[in-house]
Amino acid sequence: MSAVLALPVRKQTASRVLPGFNLSLGFTILYLSLIVLIPLSAVFLKTFTMTWDAFIAAVTSDRVVASYKLTFGASLIGAVLNALFGGIVAWVLVRYKFPGKKIIDAMVDLPFALPTAVAGIALTALYSPNGWIGRYLEAIGIKVAFTPLGVIIALTFIGLPFVVRTVQPILEDAERELEEAAASLGASHWQTFAKVIFPTVLPALLTGFALAFARATGEYGSVIFIAGNMPMVSEITPLFIVTKLEQYDYAGATAIAVVMLTASFLMLLTINLLQAWTRKRGQAEKV
């Protein structure tokens, strides 16, 4: 009787809702090839039509190097700011109750829904010398619009949701009992945060940082309005690539794109390796 009752359970556990591994893997590779691999390979193939000397000349000119420094430097600063303040925003949204919390929570996703050109125009209107905020900053000698500082503000604006939405679920699932146990053992608030909370959210914080950085390096629409696009001063690399395309220099544009793609990939790979190391260290400490 027990064997008969166990038979349907075995059949139910053995059945799969989705297709098998071979079919799923084949579909995954095909989809990624059409969406990601083939377009990226076209960038490399077009670049390979250049000679090595032409490639070096295209990616190391003074104007291009200046755009690299601005793009990666501003992206890094924006990602660091988002990691710091985005973590605070996520903490407040999870741990506190206050009027208007739902509205603020929805506003976090505004950079996702807002067209980037609209964001750029809005930021320029705010931070221009005669803008609502820019006029007061101008009075104390701080110029935001049409400077690298404006680029940093734009990249910080578009990267905030990546950190908040990555850290927020981890904080919601965090075990409050561990914090209470640390407090009962005499740990201060800072010790509880440093030893209990921060190690838990660190992998998510690194993920949000990497996503914000990668998003910022390729941002175009929200930056070109507030940057001013002055060569050697406030010209970002994506804009320089568009300029090359408008000049029908496709090989030069793809060469610069290859440098950007390689740098972004190495950055993401480093962050992923750091995340894996952090997880292993956390598991080892628990054991």
Among 2-11, 83-92, 218-227, which is the least confidently predicted range? 2-11
Domain-embedded: residue 23: no
Predicted pLDDT of residue 117: 87
Dist CA 93 CA 86 (whole Å): 11
Cβ atoms < 10 Å from Cβ of 110: 12
What CATH number is associated with residue 101?
Answer: 1.10.3720.10
Mean pLDDT, the chain, integer: 85
Q: Rounded mean pLDDT of 30-47?
A: 87
Per-residue pLDDT at 76 exceeds 90: yes
Residues 38, 40: Cα–Cα separation, whole Å: 5
Q: Is residue 87 part of a domain?
A: yes
| Higher pLDDT, residue 274 or 92 | 92
In a domain, 1, yes or no: no
User: What pLDDT does residue 2 have?
Assistant: 45
For 269, the token pair is: 């790979």
| Mean pLDDT computed over 4-13 | 48
**Amino acid 284: pLDDT:** 67
| Digit-coded pLDDT (tens) for 132-188 | 999 999 889 899 998 999 999 999 999 999 999 999 998 888 777 777 777 777 777
Q: What is the pLDDT of residues 82-96, one digit of tens each?
A: 999 999 999 999 988
pLDDT of 7 reads 47
| DSSP assignment string, 104-118 | HHHHTTHHHHS-HHH
- Classify residue 202: in a domain, yes or no: yes
In a domain, 224, yes or no: yes
Average of per-residue pLDDT across 226-234 = 87
Q: What is the largest CA-CA distance in the chain?
A: 87
Domains identified in the chain, total number: 1
Lowest mean pLDDT among 10-14, 23-27, 246-250: 10-14
**Band of residue 282 on the pLDDT scale cut at 50, 70, 90:** low
pLDDT at 1: 46
pLDDT score of 286:
59
User: How much of the chain, in percent, has pLDDT values that exceed 70?
Assistant: 91
pLDDT value at residue 4? 46
For residue range 238-273, what is the model confidence (pLDDT) as tens digits?
998 998 989 899 999 999 999 998 888 888 788 778
- Indicate whether 44 belongs to any domain: no
Residue-range definition of the domain harbouring residue 140: 56-286
* Burial group, residue 193, by CB count within 10 angstroms (0-12, 13-18, 19+): middle
Structure tokens at 268: 């993401």
pLDDT at 156: 94
- Domain membership flag for residue 24: no
Does this model's pTM top 0.75?
A: yes
- How far is 12 from 34, CA to CA, in rounded Å? 35
Would you say 241 and 251 are in contact if contact means Cβ atoms under 8 Å apart? Answer: no
Burial of 246 (0-12, 13-18, 19+ CB in 10 A): exposed
Beta carbons of 252 and 202 less than 8 angstroms apart: no
Examine residue 120 and state whether it is found in any structural domain, yes or no. Answer: yes
**Other C-beta atoms lying within 10 Å of the C-beta of residue 219:** 25
Buried b / exposed e over 116-150, threshold 16 CB at 10 Å, is beebbebbbbbbbeebeebeebbeeeeebbbbbbb
